[in-house]
Amino acid sequence: MRFWRAKELGRQFGLTLTILFIVLVLVGCQSADRLPMVSVKPTDHSLTNPKPMENQNVLRVGISSVLSPRETLDNYQDLADYLQRKIGRPVQLIQRQSYQEINDLVRDQGVDVAFICSGAYVTREQENLELLAVPEVNGKSTYQSYVIVSSNSKFQSFQDLKGQVFGFTDPISFSGTIAPTYMVTLLNSQPTEFFKRIVYTYSHDNSIKAVLDNVVSAAGVDSLVYQYSVAKDPSLAAKVRIIAQSPEVGSPPVVVNKSIDSHLKAALLEALLQMDNDPIGKKALQALLYDRFVLPNNAAYEPIQTMVKANAALKDKK
């Protein structure tokens, strides 16, 4: 009997030692903070970037609030997921309210790549901004400024807006500010003279809402955002009217700082150009209502430069 108890106690003691050993091993593993994280998921590195990038810095992607902030972030999340898998780095979306703030981040290398407005590119091109790619929508890599009014308003042409309250988006937005200002310039006037008052909304969906809510009589909006909004809410097409349009110009581009690492630049470009051939990339494109990304055409942005110069010349003259 004593022998059986001694044997049983020995077994329990051995089992206790075994459990203690396992616990110590597990605790030791959890405290090994310096050990690298290992992923079993396949990594698709760019052919132009043969060296893995997982252990390098976070990929910082700047996005300006073309739409209201929350919706902008939601729309770009799929893109962030795609770039993280394609480039091999964690992706951080960095959003700012104004286009100038995003331009400053690109200039100062606070972001690696940014999705900006065409006007923001043209007005700050000298600050080391370089075109990387542009979106293509319905077979075109161009867009316009639409001047919209409420469908039940009396306004039929841009000239009818004299003395009214007008909605601009961002001070350096092409479709939201530069193009409507140029329409005023062609009438030999300035916005502060032509309109009763100007309201800055800082996003195109806010401008559409301002028209619908009669906060402003009219507003300049991005044609791509207008089409996006109508696709989300088809009833919108019956609630507003387009009374003026600008010429077609280069679509809002993807830009980088000119001093960006050449390997990263090549990897980013290849990732963007291959999006429409990748399942995750297609999902990201659909969220933005883009067909694909294509190489940019610098000449497509020259009309914006012409408008900017004309607006400045008339302002200086007066």
Sheet holding 165-168, edge to edge: 197-200, 165-168, 218-222, 145-150, 240-245
Instruction: Identify the pLDDT of residue 56.
Output: 57
Tell me the average pLDDT across 177-192.
Answer: 97
Instruction: Identify the pLDDT of residue 39.
Output: 28
Tell me the average pLDDT across 5-13.
Answer: 44
Instruction: Identify the pLDDT of residue 72.
Output: 67
Instruction: Identify the pLDDT of residue 42.
Output: 33
Instruction: Identify the pLDDT of residue 123.
Output: 84
Instruction: Identify the pLDDT of residue 75.
Output: 83
Tell me the average pLDDT across 74-103.
Answer: 91
Least confident of 25-39, 50-64, 291-305: 25-39
Of 245, 218, 209, 204, residue with least CA distance to 75? 204
pLDDT at 249 over 70: yes
Domains of the chain in start order, with CATH, are: 59-139+251-297 (3.40.190.10), 145-246 (3.40.190.10)
Least confident of 54-63, 138-147, 222-231, 296-305: 54-63
In the three-class reduction of DSSP (H, G, I as helix; E, B as strand; rest coil), residue 105 is classed as: helix
pLDDT at 21 over 50: no
Helix (H), strand (E) at residue 274: none
Of 50 and 206, the structure prediction assigns the larger pLDDT to 206
| Percent of the chain scoring above 70 in pLDDT | 79
Q: Which two tokens stand for residue 256?
A: 């980088």
Q: Which two tokens stand for residue 238?
A: 């019956």
Contact 141, 251 (CB under 8 A): yes
256-302 pLDDT, tens digit per residue, is: 998 999 999 999 999 999 999 999 999 999 988 899 999 999 999 99
pLDDT at 28 over 70: no
Instruction: Identify the pLDDT of residue 45.
Output: 32
Q: Which two tokens stand for residue 120?
A: 């923001």
What is the pTM assigned to this prediction? 0.79
Of 91 and 31, the structure prediction assigns the larger pLDDT to 91
Instruction: Identify the pLDDT of residue 19.
Output: 43
Mean pLDDT of the chain: 83
Instruction: Identify the pLDDT of residue 229.
Output: 92
Instruction: Identify the pLDDT of residue 70.
Output: 61
Residue with tokens 């700050």: 124
* Angle subtended at Cα 141 by Cα 79 and Cα 91, rounded to the nearest 5 degrees: 15
| Percent of the chain scoring above 90 in pLDDT | 67
Tell me the average pLDDT across 85-107.
Answer: 91
Q: How far apart are CA 307 and CA 177, in angstroms?
A: 11
Tell me the average pLDDT across 60-84.
Answer: 82
Helix (H), strand (E) at residue 316: helix 302-317
Instruction: Identify the pLDDT of residue 125.
Output: 62
pLDDT at 150 over 60: yes
